[in-house]
Amino acid sequence: MKFESIRRRVVEMSVLLADHGYFAATGGNLALRADDEHIVVTPSAVDYYQMGPEDICVLRLRNLSKVDGERKPSVESGMHAQLLRKRTDCCASIHTHQPAASALTLLGQPLPVQRANHQALLGPQVLIAGYAPSGTRWLSSKLTRVLRPDVNAYLLRTHGAICCGASPERALQAIAALEALATAYLRERIAARAALATPEQGALRKLIATLDAHPVQELIA
């Protein structure tokens, strides 16, 4: 099997992301750079807990032609390939529908990053790519337009998030850092609304209690 160890790594990462709620059902996908010419990507619509290394697809980075793997590659392979072509310093790209960051995509704004430990993983800000339907070239091109060499985390308008890293570990850490940042940002906005004496005050306070009861955990691979 070509690139067996790196395909096993994709399986391990997918299970870790599913265990922590970043990948839900078959939503979310990831790609790792295998060498200068190849990437390995998660397959389309396969349960992460049933997936083996043989299900992981090996594609040519240049044109996405399949070199190995029994399944159909993720519909977002083109988006991962675009990112890995542009960001030659990165070898991992992870796309999720993680809850807090995905909620923030509805606001359509970039997010400032203030904490030094988050900046080291994410960059000085989280940028947002304009809306385009999942799995389309249009979405890849929207992301390409906002890609920057110093920003490792991007929101996809009304969809989800994509993070990259110099290693699989750094990309996983970026995913968790983005969720922590997005949760803190949402909490702040909700708290500001809850401070006003409005009929929704009680519901907003319950929402804050729910956020506080489920702190974001680091993803340690």
List residues binding Zn ion (CB under 5 A): 160
Q: Which residue is nearest to Zn ion (CB)?
A: 160
Q: 3-class SS at 199? A: coil
Least CB distance from residue 38 to Zn ion, whole Å?
A: 23
Measured between alpha carbons, how far is 20 from 134 in angstroms, rounded to an integer? 23
Q: Which is nearer to Zn ion, 152 or 204 (CB)?
A: 152
If you search the block for the tokens 């709620």, which residue do you land on?
21
Q: Which is nearer to Zn ion, 39 or 204 (CB)?
A: 39
Q: Which amino acid is at 55?
A: D
Q: 3-class SS at 178? A: helix
Q: Which amino acid is at 171?
A: A
Nearest residue to 216 (alpha-carbon basis) of 181, 187, 185, 164: 181
Burial bucket for residue 196 (CB in 10 Å: 0-12, 13-18, 19+): exposed
Least CB distance from residue 46 to Zn ion, whole Å?
A: 15
Q: Which is nearer to Zn ion, 153 or 194 (CB)?
A: 153
Angle among Cα 178, 179, 184 to the nearest 5 degrees reads: 100
Q: Which is nearer to Zn ion, 27 or 110 (CB)?
A: 27
Least CB distance from residue 153 to Zn ion, whole Å?
A: 15
Least CB distance from residue 161 to Zn ion, whole Å?
A: 9
